[in-house]
Structure 1
């Protein structure tokens, strides 16, 4: 199973981001479906069932991880994956704590992670051949997160969808 741990904005925020995206970037190709909007905490890759079972068990033991709010107010572009994304100018300490804690747990489960700095972001478009012009309306989306999820990336002839496989509460 191809998996990642992530955060999912509520439906109202997803709709607001979709509306903003349409107003600012209607002509761009490769929009990510609104149902796939998320912030990845850790990309886990292909996992075996025993790794997933160990991950569940270790995450269940977590306590006292606080919920938090993230403001998505920055637009970014990565040329290699050709991705346009929304990000946060400031990362809350609680988000860094969650990522650090989950990284430790994932390593305990003998799951290899890519070594790269964590940049919280929500991908808006894939396969953008170039960085688009600036948005006419600056983004400002406040997302409160009181849970995180294990997602499975499922490919079909209609594209990729992200299915929630487990959820855990933040205090």
Structure 2
């Protein structure tokens, strides 16, 4: 199973982001459905059932990290994956601590993660051959992250979807 640790905005925030994106950027060819909106903490790749159980046991013993506010207020574009995203201009310290902890636990569980600079972001659209033109659109979406999740990445006829496999509260 392909998996990742992540945060999920509440339903109200997802719908608000989707409505804003559709109005501000109607030209996007492959918008991500609101149901798939998330912020990845640690991409795990393919994991075995044993690694899944190991990860869940390790997270259960992880030190509690306080709940925090997520503020999505910065637009970005990556040309290599052709992704247009909405990110955090300033990422909360607790958010970064959660990223560090989930990455550490993945390594303890025997997973080799790609080491790269972390940018908290929610993908708005994929397959963008060029940076969307109206970068002056302002965004400011906030929600309180009270929990984090272990998601699976599953293919379907409608595209990939991300069912939550397990959730943990933030302290």
What TM-score do the two structures reach when normalised by structure 1? 0.97
Kindly indicate whether residue 61 of structure 2 is the aligned counterpart of residue 33 of structure 1: no
TM-superposed deviation, 1:134: 2.4
Kindly indicate whether residue 56 of structure 2 is the aligned counterpart of residue 56 of structure 1: yes
| Aligned positions of 1:64-75 closer than 5 A | 64-75=64-75
Q: Deviations over 1:101-128 (max 9, x none)?
A: 1111111101110110110000000000
TM-superposed deviation, 1:157: 1.8
Q: Answer whether contact 1:25 1:135 (CA < 8 A) is retained.
A: no
Kindly indicate whether residue 9 of structure 2 is the aligned counterpart of residue 9 of structure 1: yes
TM-superposed deviation, 1:139: 0.4
TM-superposed deviation, 1:27: 1.4
| Aligned positions of 1:87-126 closer than 5 A | 87-126=87-126
RMSD across aligned C-alpha pairs, in angstroms?
Answer: 0.9
Q: Deviations over 1:141-166 (max 9, x none)?
A: 01210100000001012210000000
After TM superposition, the runs of 4+ consecutive aligned structure 1 residues lying more than 6 A away are none
What TM-score do the two structures reach when normalised by structure 2? 0.97
Q: How many residues are aligned here?
A: 171
Aligned residue for 2:96, secondary structure, equals helix
CA separation in 1, counterparts of 2:59 and 2:144? 21
Aligned residue for 2:154, secondary structure, equals strand
Aligned residue for 1:6, secondary structure, equals strand
Give ranges in structure 1 of 5+ residues lacking alignment.
none
